[in-house]
Chain A
């Protein structure tokens, strides 16, 4: 144990002596957390609508007023012809074109299916989909108001009854994307940093030749591995603490579950990542190689973590693949504990899977370490 302690002390000395590394470890990730959480949202707003009104009636103006009234839309701009509006779409000045035909009002009064045309710039399909939902909602609201206005008791029998759905969003009532993103981005930062640092750290000793000097000493392999990796386990937990603090103070993210449970999971999770780092370092000879391999995995882990695209909408093979993605587990468990208040009982399965993952990963890492050195 004394030797492990000596190595850990040496490791911390080297980390804290590296003037370039300290800000990289502690300042940059937190800047990332603050910037990304504010920037990376799915919210679609500031939608610019262009409209062409052939009808120029009271009803058509009311419809435009409805758009104006929505916080998602900018003030709609008027265009003389569809050609001009299309040009504006082409120049990216407008996201959506609404065309109100002649006889719009007349059709409403005659109850003969009034129609409007909506054209959306769908270069970004996801955004276009959301914009479509918003405009549909506005049109259906408009629909309801004119029905109320033209309500005529005599015609009551003609009125069809419609089903109205009332939605309530659980665990994130206001659909606040920051609440969703902050735990996820915190996970990314912890994963990236500990994986990069641990995979590069042992390779570094190889690169500068000190590993050889260590190997001729009576240091046992497990002592060396534990001594080298423990500091990064600590750093991971410190990052988690700072990140949770920022989540609370800056973003006011709810913390419904137990903080202790998050720490317990992170401690286990870091073992998976550190094992992975050691594994990578066993198959590389330079820090550059280690960095690129770590990047390769991190990019896949992040994009398939369910943070940016829901896992449920991936193809089945990809969904199966995410079973091997530790980041997906971490993202899920963070959201469960922080936003849903899940307990150990609810998260037990993920705990178990992560535990097995950690065992397998570290077994592979130590096995390959012994084989290679």
Chain B
């Protein structure tokens, strides 16, 4: 096991940020922690990175206890916080050099690990970190987190605020790093990124809802999902909100996702109900549920 979390709790005054979290991440796994803002993701990351003490419970990262062996632990993990936190007034090269040196390493020593990422920002190595674009800042932060060849890499919402193309590229880089033997623990509020992980854990309001591979999570989902398209989404949402058989209804991109409270149901009946309520151009089809549907369902309870 690369990561063992058992019964971790943490409160901030009245707010219970984490409630008895237990989780295991295998060696060399790309593990995703999926949850909305305020679910407790960052708190868990800070505990695992030895920046915060849990109120209860134990955690073990790469064989080191986060409380007792924090000194050893820090040598063996890479942590990239959600907020860009390198020195903005130092250049790309100086930042990288600084972090390499304080880990008693050098850029040359682990160059092959960061090469794929660093070559993309190397043309700008004399530029101050503060003057980089968002995507390049992220690459620099990742390089700095990797420069000491950590066993476990913690990435706290690395793609928040990054454009879709760069996000794709970023996940490509993570896959490559995984092949080099690094265990990656990544959090994200984007459900579409969950499918790219080996296994995921849903977290909401400080509780782990489910842990499994993305495909198994979708496969084991019992409900059928009806995808409804109409130009008047808001009206349809209101109508189905007070429909007697509605189990759940929520906007999903440009359409609505509907789940019925009955085990078997005729989806045409639902569409007709909408049409009877004078909603124009209603179309719909049954689709296989996506990860977001599962999460919406889990977080309802």
A residues near B79, Cβ cutoff 8 Å:
213, 216
Inter-chain contact A219/B85, CB cutoff 8 Å: no
Decide if the interface of chain B is mainly helix, strand, loop or mixed: loop
Chain A: CB-nearest residue to B87? A210
| B contact residues, total (Cβ < 8 Å) | 25
Check B89 against A212 for contact (C-beta < 8 Å). no
A213 touches B85 (CB 8 A): yes
Tell whether B278 is near chain A: CB-to-CB under 8 Å: no
A218 touches B89 (CB 8 A): no
The answer to whether A212 touches B51, judged by C-beta atoms less than 8 angstroms apart, is yes
Please state if A216 and B87 are interface contacts (CB–CB under 8 Å): no
Question: B11 near A: Cβ within 8 Å?
Answer: no
B74, A208: Cβ atoms under 8 Å? no
Contacts A10-B87, A212-B81: A218 and B51 contacting too (C-beta < 8 A)? no
User: With the chains together, A195 CA to B78 CA distance in Å?
Assistant: 34
Are the CB atoms of A18 and B89 closer together than 8 Å?
Answer: yes
Decide if A17 touches B89 in the complex (CB within 8 Å). Answer: yes
Q: Which residues of chain A come closer than 8 Å to B144, judged between CB atoms?
A: 213
Within residues 164 to 222 of chain B, which ones have a CB less than 8 A from any CB in chain A? none
For chain A, the count of residues having a C-beta within 8 Å of the partner chain is 19
Bound Cα distance from A10 to B71, whole angstroms = 23
B102 at the interface (CB under 8 A from A): yes
Interface residues of B in 75-128 (CB under 8 A from A): 75, 77, 79, 81, 83-90, 94, 98-99, 101-104
Q: Which residues of B contact A (CB under 8 A)?
A: 49-51, 71, 74-75, 77, 79, 81, 83-90, 94, 98-99, 101-104, 144
Q: 9 additional contacts, CB 8 Å, given A14-B87, A216-B79, A217-B74? A: A10-B98, A13-B90, A208-B85, A210-B87, A213-B79, A213-B99, A215-B51, A217-B102, A218-B75
Q: List 23 A-B contacts (CB under 8 A).
A: A3-B101, A6-B101, A10-B90, A10-B94, A10-B98, A13-B90, A14-B90, A208-B85, A209-B83, A209-B85, A210-B85, A212-B51, A213-B81, A213-B85, A213-B86, A216-B51, A216-B77, A217-B74, A217-B99, A217-B102, A218-B75, A218-B104, A219-B102
Interface residues of A (CB under 8 A from B): 2-3, 6-7, 10, 13-14, 17-18, 208-210, 212-213, 215-219
Question: Which 10 pairs show the lowest CB-CB distances between chains A and B?
Answer: A209-B85, A216-B79, A213-B85, A6-B101, A209-B83, A210-B85, A217-B102, A216-B49, A218-B75, A218-B74
